[in-house]
Structure 1
Amino acid sequence: MTRTEAPAWPRCGHIDTGEHCRGRTVGAYTLCLAHLDDAGRAAHLASLTPGMDLDHRGTPFTQSLLDELLAPLRDPGSGRARVGDVSFDEARFTGDAELEGIDFSGFCSFASAVFDGNVYVREVRVEGDFRLGAARVAGDVWLDDTYVGGDAWFYGAEVEGAVHFNVREVGRSAVFKDMTCGNAYFSGVRIAGLASFAGAVVDGEAAFDGAVFEEGGDFEKVRIEGRACFDGTRFHRGRTCFDGAIVGGDMLFTEAHFAAEATFDAAEIGGDLSFAGAGFEAGVSFRRTVFRRTARIGPLVCPETVDFSGAVFEVAVTLEAAAPEVRFQQARWASTAALRLRFARVDLSDAVLVSPVTVVGRPRRFVSPETGKIAEPDLIDATVRVTSVRGVDAAFLVLADVDLADCLFVETVHLDQLRLEGRCGLAQPPGGPRWIRRQTLAEEHHWRATRYGGRWTPAPAEAETPDPVVLAPVYRQLRKALEDGRNEPGAADFYYGEMEMRRHAAVSRGERTLLRLYWALSGYGLRAVRALAWLVLAMTATVLAMMLWGLPQSDPDPVSAGTTDGRHVTLTTRKPAPVNPDGPYADRLSGARFEKSLRVVANSVIFRASGQDLTTTGTYVEMTARLVEPALLGLAVLAVRNRVKR
């Protein structure tokens, strides 16, 4: 109802400066309590008894008139007034208004009332609702040592000063939607129902430290210009919502407790966000939240998901969190950031980085200045696992001491500039003799699972399985990233993975055959044992070939023929051709022939002629050995070098 509309109650007949008084008439009188003459007012007050209802809607009051009204209702022994339902809707109070030592057995309503000064409510007990909705107060509102059995209703109230809501308990809900005030203090209050501050505007600071909200709190679209303190606040049962809230200063939740989910979606936070020692029983959401001047967030210990998807960090920030999952999908960092995490599966898909952002797996528990090391109930494995960097510009990304076994790298930009610090392990192939141990991408697991079955990790239901032609450049860029960081041995596995993907993606038969041969002989120049095994096998085969066919039947003796001329003798020596061995193969496998064959083969490995007489077959065997075996030895040396070079 506006001030120009006629009230719904019997209206006072007093006219002042051309306007009718809006006060409710008293009893059989045609005037309100303020405009009754002394005799009429005294008669009316004398008729009052403790416990009666009071209805003085629209009546103008001063403190003295209010005291006169309450005097007949007070118990002479205790000095406390006893009243039933009280309605002061649209009343106007000149100067300060003070209610002290009053027991209301019903409701107490000041809806749309106007107060020119401060409002003091002390040692008051209201069994029903306490209503100050749409009221206007030029000063402060103080509710000290007060109990409200029903709802506390401040909907749309306008308080130019501070609201000191030091109420012991509110039996049902507390509604402060669209309230405006200078500062707000709700320290230690207990609200049994839902506490709603949606749309409230606080021009200064707000304090809710030690408050208890049994059914959660609704702070949707609240605006607090200064800091907001929730130290030690308890949010039980219902969800706590700060969606769309705007807080200009710090938000402090030290030692707070959240029994249900807490959401800060699309909020704007101007200062630090502290959760030191806070307890969570459900997840926390900061989706699309804007952190204006937030330099520090956390430490935040949560048993469920912490979601920063779409969040915007406008200044350099340090974020500390311990949770099973932390999401940064499409998050944006306008400055540097250090993300110190524990236990978490971290999703950075499509995040936007314009300055260095470091994701660090923290091995030690977080520490609170007040309580020391922060407990981490229900969190077991402290390993941080990055699950996706897809769509990220990796030129500004640093990963330190994190597990990359499940990380998706396809579609990452500037992956060759990614920095990996500390221990950053990738997935291993399945056990068994078929697959050698090496670091593999999760996407390779997904692709091989479609070909070789369940021993390889299949792709998640929502993920696509990339082809080898897509994975080869991913391995190549990761290899370059490690080589640029002077970690060439660590890059060896990425080179192996690149060659594996090239082998499977090869189009021409010749390239595929060449890569298969390179893989089989030396594991792409990275498996020294494989190359040495082939070398030993080749040497063994050459020794056997020499013993069976390469060495002649026997070493031929020189035959000399010449003429004499005086005392001078000229000799022409002719060496007969070696004779191929004959007889059973068993007779050829003797110790003497083994020693000669081994000498021939050993010399062939290092490109030296053995000087041994050989058959025609033996000569070709030696030529082949001098070509193949040094190459295998070179591959073995290359593999060792690739594993130890710096």
Structure 2
Amino acid sequence: MGSYTACLAHLNSTERAAYLASLAPGADLDYRGTPFTQSLLDELLASLRDPGSGRARVGEALFDEARFTGGAGLEGIDFGGFCSFAAAVFSGGVYVREVHTGGDFRLGAARVAGDLWLDDTEVGGDAWFYETRIKGTLRFCVREVGHGAMFKGMTCGDAYFSGVRVGGVASFEGAVIDGEAAFDGAVFEGGADFEKIRITGRACFDGAHFHRSRACFNGADIGGDMPFAEAHFAAQATFDGATIGGDLSFSRARLEAGVGFRRAVFRRTAGIGPLVCPGTVDFSDAVFEAAVTLEAAARKVRCRRTRWASTAALRLRYARVDLSDAVVEFPVTVVGRPRPFVSPEGEVIAEPGLTDSRVRVTSVNGVDAAYLVLADVDLTGCLFVEAVHLDQLRLEGRCVLSPPPAGLRWIRRQTLAEEHYWRATRYGDGWTPAPPGVETHEPAVLAPVYRQLRKALEDGRNEPGAADFYYGEMEMRRHDSTASRGERTLLRLYWALSGYGLRAGRALAWLVLAMTATVLAMMLWGLPQGDSDLVSAGTTDGRRVTLTTRKPVPVNPEGPYTRRLSSVRFEKSVRVVANSVIFRASGQDLTTTGTYVEMTARLVEPALLGLAVLAVRNRVKR
């Protein structure tokens, strides 16, 4: 230290006074390894105060590895360059107030036995708190950090960063905060890295702003709630692998990109949202250990391999929801919400960048659907093939599936997306082709899917809806190339006659056609030439008369066909056909041909009538 052989703390009073008198405002300081008390520090700073402003002015200051007994207070100081307390030891608290540094402010690897407060302070360069150990509370109420802020590996009690503005990247990677943390109103111009941070209590980010770069919370461990009310994310936010112990509130938060919770663990999270996101909200591989309500308006919500170990309600808007391979251990409800979300104050939350309010479930592949409930969602593109226990899936409200192409060729009904993909390979126009990367399944695979969904609707007392799935099941069986030819022929006949007992119009059309053919056959060949009178013949021996009565064999009609088509013969033919439809004999004399025609009509026409009645019943049954 200049011409002195001892450090500042060990100079005698005369030497110390002479040394301090030699200092002028703006001088550089180098007291590395020097022991300090508060009184000695005050003496040093007093010699550097500008008489005009009353503030101490220092050039660059080095207090690395210095030891401060009883803590330290720095107030009203302007550092022209950096100020470094790297590896310094403070046996008490550190209180920095109204300090400005033109360069860095460094407390890397410092040890503070009490609190560390920085109030009304400005840092022109970097704030460096790498692996700082603080026993008490950190209050980093710095107005602005010009460049980056490094808190990597830091430990402290409670931490408060309310209202701070960081011009560069703020890194809290691996920091441990043994209490609550507050970042409300903080502004991170260059992004923020909270990777693997551990906060045992609540972490508040209300009104925080994350500009330019992503906000990274990957691997973070948050013990309490994590509110982001009115926060602003200009880029993507990621919580991959994070562990969150409380609720996540995003009320009126503004997200301009997606947010990811891949492999995150939600321990006691009861609520997430309302989350408005124009991109993707990704919960793939996440684990929900407690009952949770998720409210989100997003373009996509991805829940691939997500595990729900308790009940959950997903109240969604706009989203395309992917539930592939999700593990549902308790009832999970996916609901399409028709109304916008509201804030706790009752204000409607804006939804910029989102236009189509339909909630579309795109896949339940690999899901055990025993506890899954879908309500008021669009299933037009949903993949069902690899799901299990679809017969226990509950479809509530208005769940829409894709119709076949328009036109007389295709019956109007609800069809699965997988059937569209298969038929598009055979019929082309009108049927939706499979998207890239989506496998096309054969009818043998689709028939059991239709069967299980039919049972699910029947158990829910939705018989008319189940009828469409029965039709789809029979269609897939009819087109199944692995089935026997006899079975497929029988199914084709069943389809042609009555649409598998579900198309009353088709059965009635065949009934009318059969009745018309029967009437014509009776008029042309079935009724005899004329009415046959009974003929009686007998003998008498004076006292006794013996009579024998017989009915002549009906005579086949003769003559031109036009003469047989008379009104009298039509009336008789109609009577025969009407009785045949209700499975009764008419009692009319018939030729041999007419007898066989009537027998055939009594077998076929009641069956067609029964199919028509069955079709009507299937459409109105409850």
Give identity over the alignment, percent.
80
Which of 533, 554, 558 aligns to 1:578? It is 554
Q: Compute the displacement of 1:618 (Å).
A: 2.2
2:464 is the counterpart of 1:489: yes
Mean Cα deviation higher: 429-438 or 236-245:
429-438
Which of 128, 148, 152 aligns to 1:173? It is 148
Distance 2:259 2:167 in 1: 23
Distance 2:619 2:323 in 1: 32
2:602 is the counterpart of 1:626: yes
Which of 39, 43, 47 aligns to 2:22? It is 47
> Secondary structure of 1:461's match?
coil
Which of 498, 521, 525 aligns to 2:473? It is 498
Which of 484, 487, 492 aligns to 1:511? It is 487
> Secondary structure of 2:563's match?
helix
Mean Cα deviation higher: 171-180 or 94-103:
94-103
If the length of structure 2 is used for normalisation, what is the TM-score?
Answer: 0.96
Contact 1:124 1:147 in 2 (8 A): yes
Q: Compute the displacement of 1:467 (Å).
A: 1.7
Structure 1: 5+ residue runs without aligned partners?
Answer: 1-25
Q: Compute the displacement of 1:66 (Å).
A: 1.4
Mean Cα deviation higher: 139-148 or 377-386:
377-386
The residue identity in structure 2 corresponding to 1:437 is R
Distance 1:185 1:587 in 2: 108
Contact 2:366 2:386 in 1 (8 A): yes
Contact 2:87 2:108 in 1 (8 A): yes
The number of aligned residues is 621
2:16 is the counterpart of 1:37: no
Counterparts in 2 of 1:208-247, with a 5 A limit? Answer: 208-247=183-222
Distance 1:235 1:152 in 2: 18
Equivalent residue, structure 2, for 1:458: 433
Equivalent residue, structure 2, for 1:121: 96
Distance 1:455 1:32 in 2: 90
Contact 2:477 2:483 in 1 (8 A): no
Distance 2:435 2:429 in 1: 13
Equivalent residue, structure 2, for 1:639: 615
2:254 is the counterpart of 1:251: no
Equivalent residue, structure 1, for 2:576: 600
> Secondary structure of 1:383's match?
coil
CA 1:565–1:372 in structure 2 vs 1: closer, same or farther (change >3 Å)? farther
Q: Compute the displacement of 1:572 (Å).
A: 5.0
Deviations 1:311-348 (A, max 9, x none): 11111111111111111111111111111111111111
Which of 586, 590, 595 aligns to 1:614? It is 590
Distance 1:59 1:508 in 2: 96
Structure 2: 5+ residue runs without aligned partners?
Answer: none
2:507 is the counterpart of 1:531: yes
Equivalent residue, structure 2, for 1:146: 121
Deviations 1:480-513 (A, max 9, x none): 2222222223211111111111122252211111
Deviations 1:155-177 (A, max 9, x none): 11111111111111111111111
Q: Compute the displacement of 1:475 (Å).
A: 1.4
Which of 342, 353, 364 aligns to 2:328? It is 353
Equivalent residue, structure 2, for 1:287: 262
> Secondary structure of 1:82's match?
strand
Contact 2:33 2:67 in 1 (8 A): yes
Distance 1:317 1:325 in 2: 19
The residue identity in structure 2 corresponding to 1:634 is G
2:287 is the counterpart of 1:312: yes
Q: Compute the displacement of 1:117 (Å).
A: 1.2
Counterparts in 2 of 1:195-214, with a 5 A limit? Answer: 195-214=170-189
Contact 1:338 1:358 in 2 (8 A): yes
Distance 1:491 1:111 in 2: 73
Deviations 1:358-416 (A, max 9, x none): 21222222221135221111212222211111222211212222222222112222221
If the length of structure 1 is used for normalisation, what is the TM-score?
Answer: 0.93
Tell me how large the CA RMSD over aligned residues is: 1.8
Distance 2:295 2:49 in 1: 57
CA 1:204–1:140 in structure 2 vs 1: closer, same or farther (change >3 Å)? same
Equivalent residue, structure 1, for 2:455: 480
Which of 60, 63, 81 aligns to 2:38? It is 63
> Secondary structure of 2:517's match?
helix
2:414 is the counterpart of 1:414: no
Equivalent residue, structure 2, for 1:97: 72
Q: Compute the displacement of 1:556 (Å).
A: 4.5
Distance 2:246 2:279 in 1: 25
Contact 1:277 1:371 in 2 (8 A): no
Distance 2:32 2:247 in 1: 46
Q: Compute the displacement of 1:245 (Å).
A: 0.3
Mean Cα deviation higher: 175-184 or 29-38:
29-38
CA 1:600–1:72 in structure 2 vs 1: closer, same or farther (change >3 Å)? same
Distance 1:77 1:553 in 2: 139
